[in-house]
Structures are given as C-alpha cells and as structure tokens.
C-alpha cells in the first residue's frame, strides 16, 4: 500500500507587502493552486525559476508557513485542523530541516549542536549522547564533536546540520539549497549522505535545488514556475543518464520562457 506523506490540493499562498492584508494591491500571489503528492520513501526535488515559489512551498511542507487557500495534508492530517502546539511537535519530531546557511550555534560545541532538538524535547542526557554519537559515526564526523562550529569546513558544518536534523528520527528530511555554500567535492559528499538517508535509513527527502547534478539523484522532480507546476519529471528504471538529459532540457525550456517574458 502506498502511504502519502504530503498532499496538497489547489494550494494557494499569498503574501502581503507590509502585512497589509486588506489591500489587494499589496498582495503577492506566490503559489497559485498546486496539486502535489509525495509518497513514503520518495526522494523528491523542487526546481524552477528564481522567485517561482520553491522555498515558500518547502516552508509550507515544513509547517513554517500557513497556506492561504486550498488544502495541505501531512501524513493524512489536514494542517488547518492542527493546533499551534501540534504543529510545533510535528515540526520538531517528524521533520528534519537542513538549510543553506547551516544555522549552527557558535556558543555550543558541535556535539551539543547535534543534540539541540532533543534538548528542546527534554530527553534523557544519556539517550541524547548515545544517539548523537551513533549519528556522528554513521556520517563520519565523530572526530569533530568537541570542536566549535567555527573550526569546521562548510561540508563538515552541513553534515553536522544533517545529524541534528536526524536526531529526533523524523520520517522526512527537507533541505533548501543544502549545497548552495559548498564546493563541488563537498557537494558530492553531501549528496552521498542524502542517498544514504533515503536508501539506507528509508527516509523521505524533499530538496530544493538549482543544481541538475543534485536533482538527478532524486526519483521525482517538481518544476515550479511562477507559482504553478510547469512539469513533473520521474526517473524511469533508475536511468540517471536519461533523467539528467531530461532535467537539462526542462531547465533550458524554462530559461527560454523566462527570457521571452
Ligand atoms: N515573507 C515574505 N513576504 C513577502 N514576499 C515574500 C516572502 N517570502 C517570499 N516572498 C516572495 O515570494 C516569491 C517567491 O519566493 P520564494 O523564496 O519562495 O522563491 P524561490 O523559488 O525559492 O526563489 P529562489 O530560487 O530565488 O530562492 C518572491 O517574489 C519573494 O519575493
């Protein structure tokens, strides 16, 4: 049986300049009626034109933004039926986030940074330490645990941020341009980490990226252009080479459209 992790129906998101919700002229229509489903185990990318609404969509998936209209279900639960506390619990326990800028706390050691979500959950110190060390070992950062974040390279910082995202054992990892601040070698290593999280740990991944090489590792890509789904590409028979060509073609097509606008 296929289990849905995320489903949207005619999802609409508007922002309002200066929070002026009464003034239609202040309205910015970002997402314009999206129907998207992400099933259990899928590794999905969101790509598309700059300003098209990718980050906004990811924030909605991660319960960081409310929707304006339509429906958004997380594991079958209608987000509009959930209380603030329930949303916060889902955000902390069922979703792990990875951001382009890492967001590690300089006043804490690397090991403590990994444990932050469990500290917020008031978990037992021994349990936190054990999980933190297990993840650090799995992702090859166990030698860094006593260091300060500022002593690490970008790639190391991002692997620490991934350990932090995984510490509460969420079902879904969401990442917004996670390789945006990394060099090519660190990006490749990070992508292997995401493969391991998806295939080894059996977790969903939803990733926003502009990089076709990164997107090529996923199984499905939603292209968002000006708030609508311009295309959905799926990897067929695990054929990465063919998938890569299709991604490039789609990117070219979308760039062509933007140039013509
Ligand atoms: N909090 C906000 N208030 C008002 N407008 C916003 C807000 N957040 C985003 N926007 C606007 O919504 C639109 C979509 O932004 P979003 O960041 O989702 O796009 P994106 O596809 O992720 O872009 P990029 O690829 O450049 O990161 C943009 O026009 C942006 O200026």
> Where do the domains of the chain lie?
95-168
Q: How far apart are the first and last CA of the chain?
A: 43
Residue 112: the pLDDT is 95
Residue 260: the pLDDT is 61
Mean pLDDT of all residues in the chain? 92
- Tell me the CA–centroid distance for residue 196 and ligand 1, in Å: 30
Task: Classify residue 104 by burial, with Cβ atoms within 10 Å: 0-12, 13-18, 19+.
Answer: buried
Task: Report the nearest atom of ligand 1 relative to the CA of 58.
Answer: 18
- Tell me the CA–centroid distance for residue 51 and ligand 1, in Å: 5
- Tell me the CA–centroid distance for residue 70 and ligand 1, in Å: 19
Residue 258: the pLDDT is 63
Residues across the chain: 261
d(CA 66, CA 153): 35
Residues 6+ apart with CB under 8 A from 247: 47, 212, 215, 216, 221, 233
- Nearest CA to 110 out of 147, 164, 150 is that of 147
Residue 82: the pLDDT is 86
* pLDDT reading at 251 higher than 90: yes
Residue 121: the pLDDT is 81
What pLDDT band is residue 10 in, cutting at 50, 70 and 90? very high
pLDDT one-digit tens code per residue, 110-158:
999 999 988 888 888 899 999 999 999 999 999 999 999 999 999 999 9
Mean pLDDT of the 72-97 span: 90
d(CA 145, CA 136): 8
- Measured by CA distance, the residue closest to atom 5 of ligand 1 is 15
Share of the chain above pLDDT 90, in %: 75
Cβ neighbour number for residue 174 with a 10 Å cutoff = 25
Backbone angles phi, psi at 251, to 5 degrees: -65, -45
Task: Classify residue 192 by burial, with Cβ atoms within 10 Å: 0-12, 13-18, 19+.
Answer: exposed
d(CA 180, CA 187): 8
pLDDT one-digit tens code per residue, 193-235:
999 999 999 999 999 999 999 999 999 999 999 999 999 999 9
What pLDDT band is residue 261 in, cutting at 50, 70 and 90? low
20, 21, 27, 56, best to mutate for ligand 1 pocket (most atoms within 8 Å of CB): 56
Share of the chain above pLDDT 70, in %: 98
What pLDDT band is residue 102 in, cutting at 50, 70 and 90? confident
Is the CB of residue 11 less than 8 Å from the CB of residue 36? yes
**Maximum Cα–Cα distance for the chain, whole Å?**
59
pLDDT one-digit tens code per residue, 35-67:
999 999 999 999 999 999 999 999 999 999 999
* pLDDT reading at 30 higher than 90: yes
Mean pLDDT of the 149-175 span: 95
Residue 24: the pLDDT is 86
Residue-by-residue DSSP string for 185-232:
HHHHHHHHHHHIIIIIS--EEEEE-S-HHHHTTSSEEEEEETTEEEEE
Single pTM value for the model: 0.93
Residues 6+ apart with CB under 8 A from 111: 129, 132, 133, 136, 145, 146
Write out residues with Cβ below 6 Å of ligand 1.
15, 28, 30, 50-56
45, 51, 101, best to mutate for ligand 1 pocket (most atoms within 8 Å of CB): 51
13, 25, 28, 210, best to mutate for ligand 1 pocket (most atoms within 8 Å of CB): 28
d(CA 210, CA 82): 32
């Amino acid at each position: 049986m296929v289990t849905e992790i995320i489903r949207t129906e005619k999802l609409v998101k508007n922002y309002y300049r200066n929070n002026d919700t009464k003034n239609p002229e202040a309205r910015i229509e970002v997402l314009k009626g999206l129907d998207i489903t992400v099933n259990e185990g899928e590794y999905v990318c969101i790509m598309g034109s700059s300003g098209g609404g990718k980050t906004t969509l990811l924030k909605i998936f991660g319960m960081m933004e409310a929707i304006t209209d339509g429906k958004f279900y997380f594991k079958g639960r209608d987000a509009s039926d959930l209380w603030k506390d329930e949303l916060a619990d889902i955000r902390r326990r069922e979703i792990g986030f990875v951001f382009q800028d890492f967001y590690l706390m300089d006043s804490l050691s690397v090991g403590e940074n990994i444990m932050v979500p469990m500290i917020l959950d008031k978990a037992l110190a021994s349990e936190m330490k054990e999980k933190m060390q297990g993840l650090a070992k799995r992702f090859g950062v166990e030698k860094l645990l006593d260091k300060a974040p500022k002593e690490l390279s970008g790639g190391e910082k991002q692997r620490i941020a991934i350990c932090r995202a995984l510490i509460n054992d969420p079902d879904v990892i969401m990442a917004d341009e996670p390789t945006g601040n990394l060099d090519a070698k660190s990006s490749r290593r990070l992508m292997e980490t995401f493969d391991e999280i998806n295939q080894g740990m059996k977790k969903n991944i939803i990733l926003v990226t502009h990089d076709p090489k990164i997107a090529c590792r996923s199984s499905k890509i939603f292209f968002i252009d000006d708030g609508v789904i311009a295309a959905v590409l799926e990897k067929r028979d695990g054929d990465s080479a063919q998938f890569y060509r299709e991604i490039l073609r789609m990117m070219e097509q979308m760039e062509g459209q933007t140039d013509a606008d």
